[in-house]
Amino acid sequence: MSDIQLIPTHAEEDGIYTEGREGHGHIKSYVRRAGRMSSAQENYYAEMMPKIGLVYAPQAIDLAAVYGRNSPKILEIGTGMGETTAKIADTNRDNDYLGVEVHTPGVGALCKQIAERELTNLRICQHDAVEVVRDMLPEASLDGVHVFFPDPWHKARHNKRRLIQSPFVALLASRLKPGGYFHCATDWEEYAHQMLEVLSAEPTLINSAEGFAPRPEYRPLTKFENRGLRLGHGVWDVIFKKR
């Protein structure tokens, strides 16, 4: 079982941990929640992670070797409880997907989806996304990046913890192949504008739309999103391509 534990070295305001490994220093965009796993999640986690889990190591990996084929490779950061990730992988079996998620109940839920759908094109790395991208993914190795509904950190003093910041966007862009895409989605309007601003400022990326993009068919509506839309809440998609 590859249950990778991120051990914080110190906590800041509101119990937000900023460093999981000495010397890395980047601000964490997540809080480690102590959510409980159901028995089904525990069982699928124990069964599936040895088969489809990628263990973090500070060395580059060969994605074609991981999946056993040459096919488009898509990174999804923050898979949540895995329903959307699994649907995308199920619908697009010609693509290979790597989901990065730190929270064990969500990883267990995604393991269950992978087993039930018999997905062979989806892997999970349970580790900090910045470190995974920086240390494990070679330059120009990805055909796409998904960042769907990341934590908006809506309090002004916490905005610096948002995942979509210029340094990380530049890092992700370097991992995209020419013509690869970078797709963000959020239901927090102010964050949507920040996403648009930050991605527009990255010189290696170009907007695929004039401003926000329509939701592409490959991104399914989540139950949470459908409920929000019924209540009149907005959702914004931002899709850029590598020059």
Q: What is the percent of the chain where pLDDT is above 90? A: 76
Residue 177 forms part of a structural domain: yes
Residue 3 forms part of a structural domain: no
Judged against a pLDDT cut of 90, whether residue 36 lies above it is answered with no
- How many domains does the structure of the chain reveal? 1
Residue 194 forms part of a structural domain: yes
Residue 31 forms part of a structural domain: yes
- Write down the pTM of the prediction: 0.86
Give the pLDDT band of residue 15 (cuts 50, 70, 90).
very low
Give the residue ranges of DSSP H helices in 6-77: 39-52, 63-67
Residue 228 forms part of a structural domain: yes
What pLDDT was estimated at residue 3?
37
* CA–CA separation, 139 and 81 (whole Å): 29
Residue 2 forms part of a structural domain: no
Of 68-72, 154-158, 230-234, the range with the lowest mean pLDDT is: 154-158
pLDDT in tens, 88-146: 999 999 999 999 999 999 999 999 999 999 999 999 999 999 999 999 999 999 999 99
pLDDT in tens, 38-62: 999 999 999 999 999 999 999 999 9
Judged against a pLDDT cut of 60, whether residue 17 lies above it is answered with no
Tally Cβ neighbours within 10 Å of residue 191: 22
- The residue among 71 and 18 whose pLDDT is bigger is 71
Residue type, 133: V
- Give which of 128, 129, 118, 66 is closest to 97, Cα–Cα: 66
What pLDDT was estimated at residue 159?
79
Judged against a pLDDT cut of 80, whether residue 6 lies above it is answered with no
Domain around 87: 13-242
Tally Cβ neighbours within 10 Å of residue 201: 11
**Vertex 114, ends 176 and 218: CA angle to 5°?**
50
CATH number where 30 lies: 3.40.50.150
pLDDT in tens, 157-187: 767 889 999 999 999 999 999 999 999 999 9
Average pLDDT, the chain: 88
Contacts (Cβ under 8 Å, ≥6 apart) of 36:
105
Catalytic residues: 151
pLDDT in tens, 144-159: 999 999 999 888 776 7
Residue 106 forms part of a structural domain: yes
Judged against a pLDDT cut of 70, whether residue 12 lies above it is answered with no
What pLDDT was estimated at residue 23?
37
What pLDDT was estimated at residue 27?
65
Residue 6 forms part of a structural domain: no
pLDDT in tens, 201-228: 999 999 999 999 999 999 999 887 888 8
